[in-house]
C-alpha cells in the first residue's frame, strides 16, 4: 500500500482506503478534482499497457511534483523535459496503470492573470 500524508490523501476512496479501486483528490487553489481508477474497471477492449491520451495537469513545480508522485508509487513514464517558451513536462504511470502528465504551463498562468484569478 502507498503511504499518504494528510496533505495528499484522497477525499474519496472506493471500496476503502486499504483496497482503493477509485480515488479522488482535490488539488490546487480551485480544488479541481482528479480521479484515478484501477485498470480492473477499464472497458473490456482497453489496451493492457499504458498508452493513448496523456492528460496533463498544471503544477507550479514539475520536478517536485514528479518526485512526490514517484515517492507515492508512480513510475516515471516520460522524464522531466524543458520545452520552449518556459514549458516543462513529465509523466508517470500510477499504480493502477493510468498515465498522468504534469506540466508547467506559462499560458495557463497568463490566462489566470488576465482573468484576475492568479
Note the pLDDT tens digit of each residue in 2-61.
455 556 678 778 888 788 788 877 776 666 667 777 777 766 776 777 766 788 888 999
Question: pTM, whole model, 2 decimals?
Answer: 0.64
Task: Please write the tens of the pLDDT for every residue from 59-99.
Answer: 999 999 999 999 988 999 999 999 888 989 999 998 878 89
Question: Tell me, what CATH number does 73's domain have?
Answer: 3.10.180.10
Whether residue 78 lies inside any domain: the answer is yes
3-state secondary structure of 104: strand
Residue 118, CA distances (Å) to 31, 35, 57, 63, 77 in order: 14, 24, 16, 21, 30
Range of 33's domain? 6-41+54-114
- DSSP per residue, 4-30: --GGG--SEEES-TTS-SEEEEEETTT
Whether residue 26 lies inside any domain: the answer is yes
Amino acid at each position: 500500500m502507498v503511504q499518504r500524508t494528510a496533505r495528499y490523501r484522497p477525499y474519496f476512496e472506493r471500496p476503502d482506503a486499504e483496497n482503493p479501486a477509485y480515488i479522488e483528490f482535490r488539488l490546487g487553489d480551485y480544488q479541481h478534482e482528479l480521479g484515478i481508477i484501477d485498470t480492473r474497471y477499464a472497458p473490456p477492449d482497453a489496451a493492457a499497457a499504458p498508452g493513448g491520451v496523456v492528460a496533463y495537469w498544471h503544477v507550479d513545480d514539475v520536478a517536485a511534483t514528479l518526485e512526490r508522485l514517484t515517492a507515492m508509487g508512480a513510475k516515471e513514464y516520460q522524464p522531466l523535459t524543458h520545452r520552449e517558451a518556459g514549458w516543462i513536462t513529465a509523466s508517470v504511470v500510477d499504480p493502477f496503470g493510468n498515465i498522468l502528465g504534469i506540466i508547467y504551463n506559462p499560458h495557463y498562468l497568463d490566462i489566470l492573470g488576465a482573468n484576475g484569478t492568479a
